[in-house]
Structure 1
Amino acid sequence: MSASQSSSAQSARQALADRLREVRLDAGLTARALSTAAGWHEAKTSKIERGKQQPSESDLRIWCAVCSSREVLPELIAELRSVDSMWLDWRRAEQTGLRHLNASVRELYDRTRQYRSYCQSMIPGLLQTVDYTTAVLTSLRDRRRVQVDDVAATVAERTDRQRILVEGGHTFAFVLEEAALHYQVGGPEVLTGQLRHLLDVMQLASLSLGVIPTAADRTSRWPVEDFYVFDNAQANVELVSGFLTITQPREIAMYGETFAALSKLAVYGSTARTLIKAALADLST
């Protein structure tokens, strides 16, 4: 993980680094003394304390042992695991299949009152049909060479998650680029069913669906990476190499502002339905 992937992740890493430095200073040790006792080069200690190298759990155990501060070890390990959870490399996250990653966010979706989603080229998961989800996950399984084939179980997990559209008093705001209505995932029949489903769910009182027309003036806001905002507590961003979780308030606010700006470019109601019906018409020609 590089600092460029998120200042949230880097800030969390630096906070851990600062805490480790405090532990060393409280123990009255120089960086050289700690390094000698730990059995590693002084440069490693320097990199860890400057947030340039992330320590392992083994490193934390040694650090606390050398500093006679074993009582803070559980807290430091928890911080380290929190830093790790901010950035999930797809290869690591999907080693045991696709379902567990989807199941792990069930509670997040259940507790979120206001959900905002922007998608550039895909229909978001909460609005997907079974066939569309199956096509998406099958493609991901094959492209990322996921060794465990649990597509059917993952589809069931995602489909069950959609119950929150009509239960629990949640509200949902979706903004799609018009291109998402035309990119075929699974072929024309799958996309036809998906677009018809969009026309149905648009009638739900709990959600708004906006579509940014291809012809919209993008001088002020151009397409960005797909992202999802859960209340004002968390934002998730899907990148080519992994999945980013943002918890820093300043960054969450940036995604909120971006969503608001993109929402102003979108059309809603009957105008959005016209765009969806036009995409359907294109599939029948």
Structure 2
Amino acid sequence: MSTEAQAQREALGARLRGFRKDAGYSSGRAFAAATGWQESKVSRIENGRQNAGEDDIRVWCELTHTQDQADDLIATVRHIEELRLEWRRQLQAGAEPRQRKALPVYARTKVFRIWHPTVVWGTLQTAEYAAETFRQVVDYYEIPDDVDAAVAKRMERQRYLYKGDRIFNVLLAEQALSTNFGGPDVMRGQLDRLLAVMSLPHMSLGILPAGAPMHIWPGNSFSMFDSKLVLVETYSAEFSVTQPREIALYAKAFDLLKRSAVYGQQARALIAQALARLDD
């Protein structure tokens, strides 16, 4: 769970604890007896170790005579759950709906800050490279095979590279140039694509050489959309970060990663070396 989600869970637990005490239940044990729950459940909810369910909120508010707070608390519970979106749930209808969902975010964003330590960022991918990544997604999560539709939606994102005055700050680790999706022909096309997009007027593409001194550990890939939203990807879930103080940490991490990156001719040289390795 993201630290933002955990902070909100703890704040919710503290609020529920206050309701309990104000209603005359001096201990979690007394409240558990009134609800028929285990005492440990009351403790976990109040200390932010377990998210309360919507039915739990209704019971809590009824017993503490705070029914007027129930709707607000339920909305909070739903928001906490939305901060951690499991991939299996997001992708249950296939990969295309998730790609379609991203388009409005891209339309609103003016400044992008992107970090990918192992693969090429989706918006810079060729259709062939994207198809290989989606085939792995379909197999790994055992979801409906809609690779062609997912690729089409991902390719739609690329129009924002040429539209308006959006600024793209993209960082890739050198490993992303060698992570093999689809074999030499697909990789050759993808690396040529990177060389081409580097000349776009609003594109800043930095590459972190494998031996570069690091000022922060690489961590997971993340995408920052202005200073309003960060999406962090793991194998199990995608985390949405919207709390300003947490977004500031990702901005700081991005700046520290940038200190290890090379640009311009040095970045082109690394891509050229990756191309040459394909011919070995």
Judge same fold: TM > 0.5, yes or no: yes
Look up the equivalent residue of 2:265 and give its one-letter code: S
- Are 1:235 and 2:230 an aligned pair? yes
Tell me how far apart the structure 1 counterparts of residues 217 and 207 of structure 2 sit (CA, whole Å): 14
Give the match's secondary structure for 2:7: helix
Q: Which moved more, 1:161-170 or 1:116-125?
A: 161-170
1:149 corresponding residue in structure 2: 145
Tell me how far apart the structure 1 counterparts of residues 118 and 11 of structure 2 sit (CA, whole Å): 36
- Are 1:277 and 2:272 an aligned pair? yes
Distance 1:27 1:113, change over 3 A: farther
Indicate conservation of the 8 Å contact 1:226/1:238, yes or no. Answer: yes
Indicate conservation of the 8 Å contact 1:211/1:267, yes or no. Answer: yes
1:267 corresponding residue in structure 2: 262
Tell me how far apart the structure 2 counterparts of residues 47 and 266 of structure 1 sit (CA, whole Å): 44
Deviation string 1:45-87 (CA, Å, 9 cap, x unpaired) is 2221111221111211222222333332221121111111222
Deviation string 1:84-113 (CA, Å, 9 cap, x unpaired) is 122222233322222222323332222222
- 2:112 aligned to 105, 109, 115, which one? 115
2:164 corresponding residue in structure 1: 168
1:253 corresponding residue in structure 2: 248
Q: CA shift at 1:183, angstroms? A: 1.3
Deviation string 1:135-162 (CA, Å, 9 cap, x unpaired) is 101111112222x222222212211122
Deviation string 1:170-223 (CA, Å, 9 cap, x unpaired) is 2110011111111111111111111111111111112100111123233x3343
Look up the equivalent residue of 2:278 and give its one-letter code: L
Tell me how far apart the structure 2 counterparts of residues 167 and 60 of structure 1 sit (CA, whole Å): 46
- Are 1:124 and 2:133 an aligned pair? no
Look up the equivalent residue of 1:46 and give its one-letter code: S
- Are 1:184 and 2:180 an aligned pair? yes
1:213 corresponding residue in structure 2: 209
Distance 1:43 1:216, change over 3 A: closer
Q: How many residues align?
A: 279
Look up the equivalent residue of 1:59 and give its one-letter code: D
Q: CA shift at 1:28, angstroms? A: 4.3
Segments of 5+ residues of structure 2 without an aligned counterpart are none
- 1:76 aligned to 63, 67, 73, which one? 73
Look up the equivalent residue of 1:154 and give its one-letter code: A
- Are 1:94 and 2:86 an aligned pair? no
Indicate conservation of the 8 Å contact 1:34/1:63, yes or no. Answer: no
Segments of 5+ residues of structure 1 without an aligned counterpart are none
Tell me how far apart the structure 2 counterparts of residues 212 and 234 of structure 1 sit (CA, whole Å): 24
2:50 corresponding residue in structure 1: 53
Q: Which moved more, 1:251-260 or 1:100-109?
A: 100-109
Look up the equivalent residue of 1:11 and give its one-letter code: A
Q: CA shift at 1:238, angstroms? A: 1.2
Deviation string 1:30-51 (CA, Å, 9 cap, x unpaired) is 4455433433233322221111
Distance 1:199 1:245, change over 3 A: same
1:11 corresponding residue in structure 2: 7
Look up the equivalent residue of 1:129 and give its one-letter code: T
Distance 1:150 1:259, change over 3 A: same
